[in-house]
Structure 1
Amino acid sequence: MTSSPTVDNHTAFTEVPVIDIGALVAGDPDPAARERVVAEIGAACRDVGFFYVTNHGIAPADSATMFAAAKAFFELPLADKMAIRLGGNTDQFRGFVPLGGEVTAGKTDWHECLDLQPKWGRDAASAATVRAPRDGHPLDDPEQWPTALPEFRTVMMRSWDQLWGLSARIAAGMALSLGLDEHFFAQYEGAELSDLRMVHYPPFSREAHPHAPDGVSIDQTELGFGAHVDYGFLAVLQQDGVGGLEVRNAEGEWIAAPHIPGTFLVNIGLMMQRWTNDRYQATWHRVQIPGTSDRYSIPFFFEPRFDAVVEPLPQCVDADNPPRYEPCEFGPYVVDLFAKAYD
């Protein structure tokens, strides 16, 4: 589910920038402060493809609750987790993926994860703003919730709504950075393909994890998550303090992107690269296998709706820089990627 950028406009950055986005999330932002935020977002998308955000409006206690729920899920017996395995009870690409269940660039990734996509019409408020997906596509919601954790769904639904709101504000900042109306990307939003994912990276040990796939060795699982670029629009990541995430600069150097307390880490994907005709580019990133500590992360993937057509924006095209991409309908594109990855 990855691809290589066609060109690289990034810089030889040595650290990921930190942006105070308070002016974007404030009810009555100061115009000068908002212009500063927008300019910083534009520079980060152009030069790095990643940036941290502070003053994002989500309380540390809410993040802690989300991590506690994720940890509780991964501590369940394997049988409980496998009961909601991706593709186990349905033909859809949501649910639990066990250790060694994903492969990047031909090598086994050493992590387990849970992908959640709550029902697109989950309550009256969201049903009024979210479009129904096409009938029968395999990224529709299978309602994969662990029965052993009765409060899990409540915690994750609250987190989903918070992260959705934050992602929408960041998308507004990206639109403004391109000279567009702040609501431009809102017309393409659709919860049916967005994804709240929980990931657990344990230290590699066959003794500690006897259910690891046969034949998997530390040589085959060089990374917790292999080098890749995200296929979608944007991601908002929460990670713990264990470390291991690295992003690649224009010189091919891998730069650490550790957890910074009070921040979320944002990165853009290939759909934003396509929209901006390579002005903003997806950045390669990877996760090292942790040493002796378990690592947890929670990315939220904020995606276009199923029938959104993504093509280079007129603001990013001119005689010297003609369109680099044909129009792409997002839903079929993603379904094809998942079908190949989980064949």
Structure 2
Amino acid sequence: MANADTQTFSAIPVLPLSHALDAATKPHFLEHLRHALLNVGFLYLSETGLPEQLIRDVIEECQGFFVKLPLEEKERIDMKNEKSFLGWSRLDNETTAFNPDHREQLDLSTPHLVPGPEAPLYHNLLAPNQWPSTQYLPKFRPVYEDYMRRMSDISTLFTSLIAEAIGLQPDAFTKFFDANQQHKLKIVKYPEVEVPDLAPNASEMDRKKWEIKRQGVGPHKDSMLTSYLLQASNQLGLQAQNAKGEWIDCKPIASTLVVAIGQGMEALTDGVCASTTHRVLSPRKGEGARYSVPFFQGVSYDAQFEAMDVPSEVLRLRDEARKARKDDVEFTFVKGRWGHLGEATLMNRVKSHPDVGERWYPELLKQIRAQQAAVAAS
């Protein structure tokens, strides 16, 4: 952990993606991207090329899902129905950092067929979506299928830019993707919570209790390569943690995506790309519900753990940057623990959604609970 005098980020950088597509501005873009990768692990991506009308439709359909769908329709597409962890999750159903996340959500992915009986267990994550009925939301499916297709292209482009920014060939990460790579997306609603102001002289214990009451999503790092968050309402809530332990607001900026570097990217780049701890605080009474649409770039579940051959001069920059990083969240991709990325991903999903684990993966859930009990007892 860095000491209190460490220089660390106090704001989230904004990078225009269009600058990466112009030979005149690309070197400057890559320089700023490298700095963000090494020292922040979070950034805003502006000028993405996403049509403004599509962004408006994505936001409208997101909010419509939570407002227009009756409970029985949501229960019809409940996540517990399938082994894939795709579907609807009711309020407080997912856990992060051992506490419930006060949010309701729908998990979707790019289209895949149900795997065959001989496939590895983690291939259960590949499956068709559970879509809400067109009776209630006739535009929902085409809007989100279009958005996921476009975001797949953006994430592939951005990953190639990450490679270039740290001295690798643009196609350096290609071997970690399937030909028909699965990517995932959530639509999320964070309802208001009634929580009083935290007293200026509050104890550490009182502060922790206050944070748990406001937990939209607890402190965590995203697991895969990169994620892209469309903030679909204007409330504050998303925060990234710097090396001093300070929580930096990622305020909504119109027509931008908030990019978070995942643990998979940190592992594959031998720690060059920083995966930063972040959280979401629920809106307080009177602020209105907060909505968001995160897109998670996937990676082949069959991929093996290995680090890239990052140039030595970049590794030296990494070593310096590590002095200004804060790492107190469990790392998903510990080398030697898993043979494939899919195994780690499946265990992570069972941990986050124990109700799905109880129904479909009881042995894995038993292992997780035994590990958690051992940690608690130590």
> TM-score, normalization: structure 2?
0.75
Separation in structure 1 between the aligned mates of residue 119 and residue 251 of structure 2, nearest angstrom = 39
SS of the aligned residue for 1:314 comes to coil
**1:186 — aligned with what?**
174
Separation in structure 2 between the aligned mates of residue 23 and residue 95 of structure 1, nearest angstrom = 37
**1:23 — aligned with what?**
19
5+ residue gaps, structure 2, are 195-208, 320-333, 355-378
Count, aligned residues: 310
Q: Would the alpha carbon gap of residues 117 and 61 (structure 1) be closer, same or farther in structure 2, given more than 3 Å must change?
A: same
- What fraction of aligned residue pairs are identical, expressed as a percent? 28
1:207-249 deviations in whole A, cap 9, x for unaligned?
xxxxxxxxxx988533111111111110011002112111101
Separation in structure 2 between the aligned mates of residue 220 and residue 254 of structure 1, nearest angstrom = 15
Instruction: Please tell me the residue identity of whatever aligns with 1:153.
Output: R
Residue among 231, 234, 242 paired with 2:235: 242
Q: Any conservation in 2 of the 1:235–1:268 contact (CA below 8 Å)?
A: yes
**2:162 — aligned with what?**
174
Q: Any conservation in 2 of the 1:100–1:110 contact (CA below 8 Å)?
A: yes
**1:127 — aligned with what?**
none
Q: Would the alpha carbon gap of residues 316 and 197 (structure 1) be closer, same or farther in structure 2, given more than 3 Å must change?
A: farther
Q: Would the alpha carbon gap of residues 187 and 219 (structure 1) be closer, same or farther in structure 2, given more than 3 Å must change?
A: closer
SS of the aligned residue for 2:92 comes to coil
5+ residue gaps, structure 1, are 122-132, 206-216
Residue among 24, 46, 58 paired with 2:50: 58
Q: Any conservation in 2 of the 1:204–1:218 contact (CA below 8 Å)?
A: no
Q: Would the alpha carbon gap of residues 39 and 222 (structure 1) be closer, same or farther in structure 2, given more than 3 Å must change?
A: same
Separation in structure 2 between the aligned mates of residue 11 and residue 267 of structure 1, nearest angstrom = 20
Residue among 258, 262, 267 paired with 1:274: 267
Separation in structure 2 between the aligned mates of residue 178 and residue 228 of structure 1, nearest angstrom = 25
Matches within 5 A, 1:1-343: 11-24=7-20, 26=21, 29-30=22-23, 32-75=24-67, 76-87=69-80, 89-120=81-112, 134=119, 137-147=123-133, 148-190=136-178, 192-204=181-193, 221-239=213-231, 240-291=233-284, 292=286, 293-315=288-310, 325-326=335-336, 329-343=340-354
Which has more helix, going by share of residues? Answer: 2
Q: How far off its partner does 1:150 sit?
A: 2.9
Separation in structure 2 between the aligned mates of residue 339 and residue 170 of structure 1, nearest angstrom = 29
> TM-score, normalization: structure 1?
0.83
Separation in structure 2 between the aligned mates of residue 234 and residue 196 of structure 1, nearest angstrom = 12
Q: Output the aligned Cα RMSD.
A: 2.8
Separation in structure 2 between the aligned mates of residue 289 and residue 245 of structure 1, nearest angstrom = 9
Q: Would the alpha carbon gap of residues 226 and 267 (structure 1) be closer, same or farther in structure 2, given more than 3 Å must change?
A: same
Q: Would the alpha carbon gap of residues 11 and 186 (structure 1) be closer, same or farther in structure 2, given more than 3 Å must change?
A: farther
